[in-house]
Structure 1
Amino acid sequence: MKIREALISDIAQIQIVRNAVKENMLSNPDLVTDKDCEEFLTIRGKGWVCEIDNIVVGFSIVDLKENNIWALFVHPDFDRQGLGRQLHNVMLGWYFMQTNETVWLGTAPNTRADTFYRKAGWTEIGTHGKNEIKFEMTAANWKVKYIQ
């Protein structure tokens, strides 16, 4: 297993992972285009992929412009192996080296993602979009939980 910075050439495999998930599925896969991925990887923020045998099995992308976790997904065939946690930690470590701004994300309630973010120290602050839970992570909370 290898975690590395995501490249534009990874977008096709990122899309495969994104469209394979069983929770937090896109209502229409065409809503997240390759061009969107490229913009978030190269202009708005940065991303990472987790590879096993040169195949992308998970990815994370953070948006510095909106201080938002744009994506964190692991292919269902590789669930529960700690890949999401490693992608999460690399992404937030990088994010908080760039800024001390609070970062937020939205996810569906009563999902494994909901539980994952709570265990990772995120704070529920309300709702976002269509019935998603909105979570935040402050720089101070990140440092207390992960830096010490």
Structure 2
Amino acid sequence: MIFREATIEDIKQIQIVRNSVKENILSNPESVTDEDCIEYITQRGKGWICEIDKNIVGFSIVDLKEKNIWALFIKPEFEKQGIGRKLHKIMLDWYFEQIRTNVWLGTSPNTRAEMFYRKMGWEEIGTHGDGEIKFEMTYENWML
């Protein structure tokens, strides 16, 4: 299991992971383009991947511009192996090394993702978009 920074060459496999999930499914898979991914990992923030046998099985991307978690997804068959937890830690450690501003994310209610973020210490602060729960992480809480 290898964790490393995402590159433009990883985007094809990142899209495969994103479109393989069973929760927080994109209503239109074409709404997140390769160009979007390139912008987020090269200009707006940074991304990381987990690969096993040269296949990407999970990824995370944080956006410094909007101060939010843009993506954290794991292929369903690789869930419950600590991959999400490790990608989450790498991403938030890097984010808070850059800036100490609160970071937020939105996720669908009643999902494993909601439970994961609560367990990781994220605080619910309202709603976002189309009925998503909006969570926030502060620098102080992350450093505890």
**Shorter-chain TM-score above 0.5:** yes
Q: Following TM superposition, where does structure 1 have runs of at least 4 consecutive aligned residues deviating by more than 6 angstroms?
A: none
Give the partner amino acid of 2:21. V
- 2:58 counterpart of 1:64: no
Q: Which residue of 2 aligns with 1:51?
A: 51
SS in 2 for 1:20: coil
* Number of the residue aligned with 2:122: 122
Shift of 1:98: 0.2
Which ranges in structure 1 are unaligned for 5 or more consecutive residues?
none
Match for residue 21 of structure 2?
21
Q: CA deviation at 1:57?
A: 0.2
Cα distance, 1:97 vs structure 2: 0.2
CA distance in 1, matches of 2:79, 2:89: 16
Q: How many residues align structurally? A: 144
Q: CA deviation at 1:120?
A: 0.2
Shift of 1:123: 0.1
Residue equivalent to 1:73: 73
Paired amino acid for 1:113: A
> What is the letter of the counterpart of residue 2 of structure 1?
I
Percent identity, aligned pairs only, is 69
Distance 2:20 2:72 in 1: 13
Gaps of 5+ in 2: none
TM-score, normalised via structure 2 length = 1.00
